[in-house]
Structure 1
Amino acid sequence: MSDDGRLTTMEPDPVWDEDSYEETVETLRDLDDDVVFKIWGGDWCKDCRSQLPAFGAALEAAEISEDRIEHNPTEKEDDGSKTGPGVEEYGIEYIPTVVVEDTETGEELARFVEEEDVPIAVYLADELDGQVTTTN
């Protein structure tokens, strides 16, 4: 975690290829100011270190402003449970977890939890694609 409370694992992967994810980036860009991305992770976490840099690169490529990205550094207790900001409120058990919420209503629109068959950005863009066209 950086001095400002940001997850260092969210630093964009410099070799991430935006052209390979054109539709994903466009969907995320189309979200405009309608959503906030709430990210739970730990710089100590192997899954976070492997997945979050590409997600950070996708958010950067989509020009998502920093004020719409909320970092929630998470620690692991001896019993395996997670602690940190919003962990109980959002029922965070596994990391990385990314929750996308509507900025106006606070409604949860999509959630990525730890591992899917596709990268975080692709998973969320697929989940949000139908919702984007109805909100803009």
Structure 2
Amino acid sequence: MRSYLILLSFLIPLLTACKDKQTDTTVAGDPVEEAVAPDTEDKLLGLIEKDDLMKPAFEDWFQPTYEDYQVNTGLVDSFKEELAEYEIEVFMGTWCEDSQREVPTLYKILEAADFPMEQLTVVAIDDEIENYKLSPGKEEYGKNIHHVPTIIFNKDEAEVNRIIEYPVRTIEEDIPVILSENYLPYYYVADLIHNKLNSMGLEAFKANMESLASEFEGKPRDVYELNTYAKTIFRQGKKEEGIAVAKLNTMIYPEDANSYAGLGARFSDMERYEEAIAQFEKALELAPGDSEFQGLLDEAKEKL
């Protein structure tokens, strides 16, 4: 496995939350055709190993989490033989605090399970706008990586299930449920919406928005689940799909200001400022005096 490093001319804060803010309005680029460029000494990109995460730029978060975690060895012993029949793929961000929490824990659990490490693949993806949640080798291609970390369990070259950003309980408790094929990930609704988009096509998806909102009402973990998914596919070039998902989110969460702010941000990204203004005004109606929403509204009005 390889890691990709380059010197940095300025420091990026290491503990950056990886749950996307729905109000980010930086314009997304088209889908990446070439390999993502290596980035910084504070950020790994591409295929990595545990040794990479123990280097000085990362050991401050990797080592304490790894050493402090107390593995439930009794539970691990109950599934270790079956787990050895699987291959595991991990998509993470060294810039992401959820990855910083879960990935060291996963390593310690797999080592306690005597898991064959040649069957583990760890991919570090980017958080920059132009390469959003992409890796140099495109290992994430076709895998719908929208939250990180994503931990995918494969058997016989087919995905069985995945942990998405958080385990539902703990990793040790989630693994036997995954192996039993009776597991719903923490952010599973984004995957269901992804499948709907693929099976229905964009136009049918938009035409059936009301029935989809009814079908998924109360199912997402929170308003950010679909905001993050919408933002991810938008930044990766599926702009109309991203807007459609963001619209659906406002229908599922009609009383949450963040859903309208998320949709407004995508309209701003498209320079559709009249539509953006309408959404930011709805957000402010629900959250009067919110300075972030007001700033976005003012910015959109200035650009109109």
The TM-score bracket by the shorter chain reads: 0.7 to 0.9
Q: Identity of paired residues, percent? A: 16
Aligned to 2:74: 22
Q: Structure 1 length normalisation: TM-score?
A: 0.76
Gaps of 5+ in 2: 1-43, 182-304
Shift of the alpha carbon at 1:115?
A: 2.1
Q: Bigger CA drift: 25-34 or 63-72?
A: 25-34
Q: Structure 2 length normalisation: TM-score?
A: 0.37
Is 1:95 the counterpart of 2:116? The answer is no
Shift of the alpha carbon at 1:28?
A: 4.0
Q: What SS does the aligned partner of 2:142 have?
A: helix
CA contact (8 A) 1:77 1:83 kept: no
Q: Bigger CA drift: 116-125 or 39-48?
A: 116-125
Q: Bigger CA drift: 115-124 or 4-13?
A: 4-13
Q: What SS does the aligned partner of 1:124 have?
A: helix
Task: Find the aligned partners of 1:27 and 1:98 in 2 and give their Cα distance.
Answer: 20
RMSD: 2.8
Is 1:64 the counterpart of 2:115? The answer is yes
Q: Which runs of 4+ in 1 moved over 3 A?
A: 9-12
CA shift in 2, pair 1:27/1:108, >3 Å: farther
Q: What SS does the aligned partner of 1:76 have?
A: coil
1:76-121 CA distances to partner (integer Å, 9 max, x unpaired)? Answer: 132793101322221111100000101xx31111211112432234
CA contact (8 A) 1:39 1:97 kept: yes
1:120 aligned to 146, 171, 175, which one?
A: 171
Task: Find the aligned partners of 1:126 and 1:32 in 2 and give their Cα distance.
Answer: 11
Task: Find the aligned partners of 2:69 and 2:94 in 1 and give their Cα distance.
Answer: 19
Task: Find the aligned partners of 1:89 and 1:27 in 2 and give their Cα distance.
Answer: 33
**Structure 1 counterpart of 2:161, which letter?**
A
Shift of the alpha carbon at 1:21?
A: 4.7
**Structure 2 counterpart of 1:14, which letter?**
E
Aligned to 1:74: 125
Aligned to 1:54: 105
Task: Find the aligned partners of 1:62 and 1:91 in 2 and give their Cα distance.
Answer: 28
Higher RCO structure, 1 or 2 (CA under 8 Å, sep 6+): 1
Gaps of 5+ in 1: 132-136
CA contact (8 A) 1:101 1:110 kept: yes
More helix per residue: 2
More strand per residue: 1
**Structure 1 counterpart of 2:150, which letter?**
T
1:10-38 CA distances to partner (integer Å, 9 max, x unpaired)? Answer: 777122223x3521x12441225421010
Bigger radius of gyration among the two: 2
**Structure 2 counterpart of 1:16, which letter?**
Y
1:109 aligned to 160, 166, 169, which one?
A: 160
Q: How does 1:28-39 map to 2 (within 5 A)?
A: 28-31=79-82, 33-39=84-90
CA contact (8 A) 2:73 2:112 kept: no
Task: Find the aligned partners of 1:125 and 1:80 in 2 and give their Cα distance.
Answer: 34
